[in-house]
Structure 1
């Protein structure tokens, strides 16, 4: 799954340009590896870093400095939590509250959230924060587990027995539901991609036997992939200045006149 997501992210972010890019959560993926923006940062939640099941260390070499025009109250960043987690060399690692991002409004060109909505306590608020810090025409990339899939079905069954299949703080978000959320925030869905159609098996032997389902699922039942990846663009409606308005005099419609009638010839009384 991580290999598929890394491949898709490399392809998706390579042609997105700007100055500031953020990856929020999931340090196992280097979501901005192929992106060419000058300022790229990994944003991690310091409050849940010690207990999050998906956190794993990356190659050291990052620094604990803010990026993308840190707001005046950026002192909320906590650099003491889990200091072994760093962004790749040449990028910044920012520890903060995901629900209160320490960035100015309209200061970021790209935000990538790999499975971040499933590990936050308030997905709606996190999306509102992403909308706030994104610049007009900025792009938002979201990766998540699809509840309408075989993996989602096993997750639902596992919750009934107390043994969930996928680690998540919140319920899995269906693709159609997420589309409604981002549409309400003024985003325009640009494209979407599904993957991982094999059954939720844990051995390489059985996963290999069901490898044919990847190509078949991508063609015949695409919306039932276990993982989805979408790209949305922030649209901001504005006014267009056209100069002083020239008032044109109304043109009066020509008045209608009765057509002249020809008198009918009178008959001769003698005839």
Structure 2
């Protein structure tokens, strides 16, 4: 992750502040709701291992990993020590915007996910009051030192890797100032109604699609097929008149 000079030395420390706790509450609620409906056998959370965003998942094997001392699984997100097609769910909570290699991370995630596997990403929205604040202040400290990725750009990256975006959601509409965070109920309801795409954070649920094979059958020439097929012999189905003629012949033979 990017090395930033800040009172909070990591995003996890920033989540302990008032603005960070405000964002964390919405993120935890969204992850709890989303992972509950995803099934499979193996799930991985990359980054922020101190916060269990997989706690509500029904997947039996759940683990987290990051390049940090004390992590349950220490790894580099752009070189995952995981077999291809072995995971059913991967979470990327604010990992891409604080990484120097976001494209490499997405490529690795695509590799380790099985077909129809799910990827859930959370990120700070540059087209929001949080993004505006980042451009107006010195970009030091978390989360302002990160590179906020625009949603349309992220969708392009996912599309190139064969992902299909299934859901996009926004939250945290209040400005990133402590005096505004006491009136979040009014601001959140107004934001969801009047400017829904301007939340401070966004969530993207994408699914890995793998094109299936389709057997191409030859386009036969119907006229040629008719000529090549053998003609079945016609069965002699005697009509009513023929039956009467046969009966007369039998009677004549009997008299003779």
TM-score (norm 1): 0.70
- Whole-angstrom CA distance in 2 between matches of 1:134 and 1:40: 14
Matches within 5 A, 1:77-156: 82-83=69-70, 85=71, 93-156=72-135
Deviation at 1:251, TM superposition (A): 4.1
Residue of structure 1 equivalent to 2:157: 181
Mapped to 2, the partners of 1:196 and 1:183 lie a distance apart of 26
- Asked if residue 172 in structure 1 is aligned to residue 148 in structure 2, the reply is yes
* Cα gap change, 1:220 to 1:25, in 2 (>3 Å): same
Secondary structure of the corresponding residue to residue 119 of structure 2: strand
| Map 1:1-271 → 2, pairs under 5 A | 1-45=23-67, 49=68, 82-83=69-70, 85=71, 93-159=72-138, 163=140, 166-169=143-146, 171-201=147-177, 203=178, 205-241=179-215, 245=217, 248-251=220-223
Deviating runs (4+, > 6 A) in structure 1?
Answer: none
Deviation at 1:37, TM superposition (A): 1.1
State the alpha-carbon separation in 1 of the partners of residues 219 and 153 from structure 2: 48
Larger CA Rg, structure 1 vs 2: 2
Q: Which runs of 5+ in 1 are unaligned?
A: 50-81, 86-92, 253-271
Residues 1:125 and 1:246: Cα distance change in structure 2 (over 3 Å): closer
User: For residue 232 of structure 2, what is the aligned residue in structure 1?
Assistant: none
Greater relative CO (CA pairs within 8 A, separation 6+): 2
User: What is the alpha-carbon root mean square deviation over aligned residues?
Assistant: 1.9
Compute the displacement of 1:26 (Å): 1.0
Instruction: Specify the SS of the correspondent of 1:211.
Output: helix
